[in-house]
A and B are shown apart, each in its own frame.
Chain A
């Protein structure tokens, strides 16, 4: 598959309510092409819902229960429907227990019509990628034989090999321990470099390490407010003085002080 140029994504006037409670109203957000946008916020504020709307996982039905949404749109600057250009990483690795590692990595190709030639080409690419992330021995193992960090690493490789230009990440490393999380953030920054990424997280440090733009989502109904734009190379070193200062001010902001 030809790698598409990473487009910008424009989210305009999105509203959603759930059980008569407005989650957010006329939300706007722009994801800059080839950059990582991060939404920080407490659990349950509606971060994942926004992500699921962009991924077209929440049905239009559900949307129309909200306010008037005639102006609502989700578009990208290459005019291809956004939901056809995304790949998605969830909180859990979502590996299928009946498939071994390499078949899990190639799941997308099994789920679409793929001819044998493409599949074998992808297979060798997948092997190389797994080798690169240090999972050479695990290629023919099944998920239950692997640790949480390994599994989420495989989920990252699965996302990468899909070759989609937009990646939506829903608290991808929240179930991992600090050290594994750190390694996987490095891997994300390297593997998914130059893609348009929306990262939803509640970990301020994760946002500071990976994001080009940080937004904070809060309130009821939820509002987005821009917090910070960073220009330095990712993954950032969390022990630098700048990071420590930013971390503390970000934390203050999240705590509402």
Chain B
């Protein structure tokens, strides 16, 4: 079945279910607004939502790109200079063990209310999946390729550049997919603990003012944005790393 048709059916059924729940239980709009109310609000506040989205979008994309860069760099260091691994690996695990929600307020104190704290939160969240997937890929190069390169008298650096890195890209790609899925969460969590802009800020703000319909409108925007981001990144990865399909 076509992916768009499938998405359409899924959205329609979820909306109907939602509408059904609201009608049957006669829920007031400050508990759960009907889909149509949310849609109305969405159009009413579209300029506000769009401007908040821009902030969240910037934070997510910057966090994602910087996270990928740092993650790749760390993985390369670990694979190329093996002793480094023993020093970095614990730090990597610690970065994942600390709950991001818990240290997000601290990041606000350190980096202020601006965009930086959110970017750092995002990076912290996706640093681990990127690094570990790429490092795994770099360690698991097919031995036949390495043997072949060895008989061609390749030095370590060229073997790394021409064989181990490209061979590890499909593994990196799956890490990037995971990271893409969680990157918006990082930005939104960052906004929750202290911000004056962004969709997370708008959600919290409208929640406090009992504008539940606006909160839902922001939530739906975040969901749509996450889906579109994932779709685009996935498409990009497929275009630039086509050989992952056969492995």
**Residues of B with C-beta under 8 A to A77:** none
Is the contact region of chain B dominated by helix, strand, or loop, or is it mixed? helix
**A87-B152, A111-B154 known; A144 vs B166 contact (CB < 8 Å):** no
Contact with B along A22-60 (1 / 0, CB 8 A): 000000000000000000000000000000100111000
The answer to whether B158 has its CB under 8 Å from any CB of chain A is: yes
Evaluate contact between B151 and A110: CB separation under 8 angstroms.
no
Task: Choose among B154, B159, B241, B245 the residue with the greatest number of A CB atoms under 10 Å from its CB.
Answer: B154
Evaluate contact between A90 and B158: CB separation under 8 angstroms.
no
**Residues of B with C-beta under 8 A to A84:** 153
Distance between Cα atoms of A141 and B166 in the complex (Å): 18
Distance between Cα atoms of A115 and B130 in the complex (Å): 36
Evaluate contact between B147 and A98: CB separation under 8 angstroms.
no
Which chain A residues numbered 90 to 135 have a C-beta less than 8 Å away from chain B? Answer: 90, 92, 94, 96-98, 107-108, 110-112
**Residues of B with C-beta under 8 A to A107:** 148-149, 152, 162
Evaluate contact between A57 and B153: CB separation under 8 angstroms.
no
- Distance of B202 from chain A, by nearest CB (Å): 44
- Distance of B247 from chain A, by nearest CB (Å): 8
Size bracket of the B interface: 20 to 34
Q: How many interface contacts (CB-CB < 8 Å) are there between A and B? A: 61
Evaluate contact between B152 and A111: CB separation under 8 angstroms.
yes
Evaluate contact between B151 and A55: CB separation under 8 angstroms.
yes
Evaluate contact between B144 and A98: CB separation under 8 angstroms.
no
Contact with B along A129-148 (1 / 0, CB 8 A): 00000000000001010000
With beta carbons under 8 angstroms apart, the residue of A98, A112, A144 that contacts B153 is A112
**Residues of A with C-beta under 8 A to B40:** none
Distance between Cα atoms of A56 and B151 in the complex (Å): 8
Evaluate contact between A112 and B154: CB separation under 8 angstroms.
yes
**Residues of A with C-beta under 8 A to B167:** 96
**Residues of A with C-beta under 8 A to B151:** 55, 57, 83, 86-88, 168
**A88-B147, A90-B147 known; A98 vs B154 contact (CB < 8 Å):** no
Evaluate contact between A112 and B152: CB separation under 8 angstroms.
yes
**Residues of B with C-beta under 8 A to A110:** 158, 162
Residue positions of A touching B, CB distance < 8 A: 52, 55-57, 83-84, 86-88, 90, 92, 94, 96-98, 107-108, 110-112, 142, 144, 162, 168
7 A-B pairs whose Cβ atoms sit less than 8 Å apart in the complex: A55-B150, A87-B151, A94-B142, A96-B163, A112-B153, A112-B154, A142-B243
